[in-house]
Amino acid sequence: MSNLATQPRSLGAPRLHFEEVINADPITVRETILQIMERLQHEFPSQSEGVISTEIVLAEVLNNISEHSYQASNLGDVTISVLCTDDMISIETRDFGVPMPGLSPPDSELEEIPMDVEDLPEGGFGWFFIRSLSSHLEYRRTGTQNIFCVQIPTASAEQSDLARANLPIADAHFLPH
């Protein structure tokens, strides 16, 4: 089990906690996202904004692992841990692919977008979405393992003091120190 279970009480009591190990191939990733989202929609039926944000973030993170960390080889597993409280959906992924360049997530600055649809870039929006929709994120490389953690506020948290508390993930015992 991951260290998500040690989430501090200040973030609320856990409502849902599960972990899955999947292969990083695109079909398994897609099926897993659908399964996780079904569980979250069941747990948070009235908080669709947080659930939709989580779907976008989860899809971008898993796509990055599949395409970049495992370099589209489909030869690797990803451990996905999800912890939900009333205020936050926390996701931790672990993989053994290549490390992020510079050992940190890329900047999320959007470059000027062309006005013509045919000139739009195919990618480059993922990290912008991840950073824009999450309240906290953290990446670290431990040995040969990538550990990425992200927290997405639910709709109720976005209006609470918790969303503005800006607690670093490491302070929340999200990652081992």
User: pLDDT digit string (tens) for 118-162?
Assistant: 655 555 678 889 999 999 999 999 999 999 999 999 865 444 444
The amino acid present at 29, given as its one-letter code, is V
The number of residues in the chain equals: 177
Of 13-27, 102-116, 117-131, 160-174, least confident by mean pLDDT is 160-174
Q: Do the beta carbons of residue 78 and residue 65 sit within 8 Å?
A: yes
Which has more pLDDT, 112 or 62?
Answer: 62
User: pLDDT digit string (tens) for 33-82?
Assistant: 999 999 999 988 888 888 999 999 999 999 999 999 998 787 899 999 99
- Sorted by where each starts, the structural domains of the chain and their CATH numbers stand as 3-172 (3.30.565.10)
> DSSP alpha helices (H): ranges in 11-167?
26-43, 48-64, 126-133, 155-158, 161-165
User: In angstroms, rounded to a whole number, what is the distance separating the alpha carbons of residues 30 and 52?
Assistant: 15
User: In angstroms, rounded to a whole number, what is the distance separating the alpha carbons of residues 76 and 73?
Assistant: 8
User: In angstroms, rounded to a whole number, what is the distance separating the alpha carbons of residues 29 and 138?
Assistant: 21
User: In angstroms, rounded to a whole number, what is the distance separating the alpha carbons of residues 111 and 128?
Assistant: 11
User: In angstroms, rounded to a whole number, what is the distance separating the alpha carbons of residues 154 and 146?
Assistant: 26
Whole-Å CA distances, 96 to 104, 106, 137, 139: 16, 19, 19, 13
